[in-house]
Amino acid sequence: MPSLSPVKAPRPDSPRFAPWLRQTMTREDFDALPRSDIEALRRFAVRRTYRRGKTLFRQGDRPDEIMILERGEIELVHQNRGERLVVQILHPGSSIDHLALILGVDHRYSAVALTDATVLRLRLDTVATLEELFPEIAFRWLRLVAHALDRSYERLLQLAGKSAAEQVALLLLDEVAEREEPALELTQDELAATLALSRQTISRVLHDLAREQVLKPERRRIVILDLEKLRAQVNA
């Protein structure tokens, strides 16, 4: 949080924070914000940590904050008549369910911590005040929104028309590139929900890849043993 006044600043999650910003923040303060979008928005947010499996919000809840994923992974899950579909896996730098905020509707899916995760939470009145004072602040958040949308569209294009084995390989390659490590904390159920495939199909594909020594399924994670062999599954 920037030092804008000798008076002690309220916490960013306080309803007094937005009025304090309006009274104290200057153009010089705004121009001095870090170039990194996340670093800049962090000055106005509360950081919260969630353990793996913790629900941030539930499908049907009304959004009341902007949430930005700082560390870890979040899965967006839609449930319908007992079916669980993973809409998207979010990585650091992503805005969490921005569409519900923009459209003014309830959350259409739940957000669940796939790993231990750290999230920045900004009050809507804080964001509204910043946009009123300095409209260009909106671009800081919109860039994060665009990042999440771009990843979603890219994955849809990648998976279109692919076999089950190719879809699994593409998803695993994408996760390895994003996490920069070969051990992925993903279960077969999570893979199945993300790709809208049956668990039996996922199990068969992983069994075939393990037999070819491409990967090693373990409890609640998958270890990639040979990236080149995994890439070959897509280019075959």
pLDDT of amino acid 236: 60
Sorting pLDDT into bands at 50, 70 and 90, what band is 7? low
Predicted pLDDT at 5: 46
Q: What is the pLDDT of residue 184?
A: 86
More confident residue, 200 or 157: 200
pLDDT digits (tens, 9 = 90+) for 128-152: 898 888 888 877 777 777 777 777 7
Predicted pLDDT at 112? 94
Round to whole Å and give the CA distance between 21 and 42: 14
Q: Which residues contact 16 (CB under 8 A, 6 or more apart)?
A: 10
Query: Which of 112, 114, 144 lies closest to 45 in space, CA to CA?
Result: 144
Percentage of the chain exceeding pLDDT 70: 96
Cβ proximity of 16 and 5 under 8 Å: no
Tell me the C-alpha distance between 217 and 202, whole Å: 11
So what's the pLDDT on residue 6?
A: 53
pLDDT value at position 110?
A: 94
Does position 4 have pLDDT exceeding 60, yes or no?
A: no
d(CA 75, CA 55): 10
CB crowding 67-91: b at 16 or more within 10 Å, else e? bbbbebbbbbbbeeeeeeebbbbbb
Check: CB of residue 213 under 8 Å from CB of residue 232: no
pLDDT digits (tens, 9 = 90+) for 218-230: 888 899 999 899 9
Distances (CA, A) of 224 to 23, 86, 137: 54, 22, 40
Give yes or no for a contact between 70 and 119, defined as CB atoms under 8 angstroms apart: yes
Summarize the confidence of residues 33-44 as an average pLDDT. Answer: 86
CA nearest to 120, candidates 24, 230, 28, 45 = 45
Among residues 140, 73, 83, which one has the least CA distance to residue 112? 73
The more confidently predicted of residues 56 and 102 is: 56
How high is the mean pLDDT of the chain?
86
Asked whether the predicted pLDDT for residue 46 surpasses 90, the reply is yes
- Answer whether residue 57 shows pLDDT above 90: yes
> Residue 150 to residues 40, 56, 88, 156, 219: CA-CA distances in angstroms?
22, 23, 12, 10, 31
CA angle 180, 222, 204 (to 5 degrees): 135
pLDDT in tens, 62-111: 998 999 999 998 999 888 877 788 888 888 888 888 878 888 899 988 99
